[in-house]
Amino acid sequence: MSDSEPGTAPTIDLREAMRTARSLRRFRPDPVPDEVLARCLEAATWAPSGSNAQAWRFVVLRSPEARAVLGPAFREGWDWVRTIYGQSAEPPAPDDMSRQARLTRTMLHLVDNFEKVPVYVLFCYRLSGFVSEFIEAGSIFPAMQNFLLAARAEGLGTVPSTWFTFGEDKLRSVIGMPDDWRIASLVAAGWPEGRHGPVRRRPVGTVTALDTWDNPFLPS
Ligand SMILES: Cc1cc2nc3c(=O)[nH]c(=O)nc-3n(C[C@H](O)[C@H](O)[C@H](O)COP(=O)(O)O)c2cc1C
């Protein structure tokens, strides 16, 4: 459980939070108190958005009706990911400790235990019709990232997921979402079974250019 007092947000060095907010998919059953979730959601509202429109809505999902939609959606999403990566339907062999096998196991755990995830949060945005949906979505993902970092500071584990798309129509109906709103992402959150740890990313020199596409900004 987090060591935070109700109403008091724990602090963590910002760079350390960014460096260690890797996705966690195994959660303990302990509930996430509303005040902890509220602090993370407040951090989400501090994100920038085009024209400061803040055309977002965060939907906290705990209902059995929403979980009934998410279960089959997660299973279908997993099948889709598995097919894309050419993985077998069987779980990895117990002695396979490769990175891929560990990732597969943790994804499978999330799929098999979707109903035990303490809470899900949907990140939704309203279409203005002035710019492309792609650009409009740019005004919701900063809010999701603020949420992920605030959750990291609280000691919560999180993982974003696109698997809700496999049950999106039903989910929209369960929550009564108006037609001009879109779901950008779903985040599963809870007190982690495992530990936060460093993310693995390509070095900045390999993904950054100076002035022209192939001119390195930094040595790689
Ligand atoms: C928009 C988005 C969608 C994602 N969808 C899923 C998902 O459906 N299932 C899942 O297990 N992880 C999902 N992830 C987590 C990524 O797999 C993860 O961030 C990536 O592999 C890097 O690992 P790390 O977060 O542990 O550093 C998603 C991440 C993002 C940003």
Residue-range domains of the chain with CATH: 14-206 (3.40.109.10)
* Nearby residues of 37 by Cβ (< 8 Å), 6 or more positions away: 60, 119, 121, 189
21-73 tens-digit pLDDT: 999 999 999 999 999 999 999 999 999 999 999 999 999 999 999 999 999 99
At 4 the pLDDT is: 45
The strand pair at 56-61 and 119-126 is best described as antiparallel
* Nearest protein CA to atom 18 of ligand 1, as residue: 23
Q: Which residue from 162, 182, 183, 200 has its CB within 8 A of the most atoms of ligand 1, so it is best to mutate? A: 162
**Ligand 1 atom closest to the CA of 141, numbered from 1:** 1
> Quick one: tokens of 188?
């599963």
Bridge partners (DSSP) of residue 182 are 125
What predicted TM-score, i.e. pTM, was given to this entire model? Answer: 0.94
Name the residue type at position 45. T
**What pLDDT, in 10s, does the model give residues 80-116?**
988 988 888 888 999 999 988 999 999 999 999 998 9
Largest CA distance in the chain: 53
What average pLDDT does the structure give for the chain? 93
| Cα–Cα dist 31/79, whole Å | 29
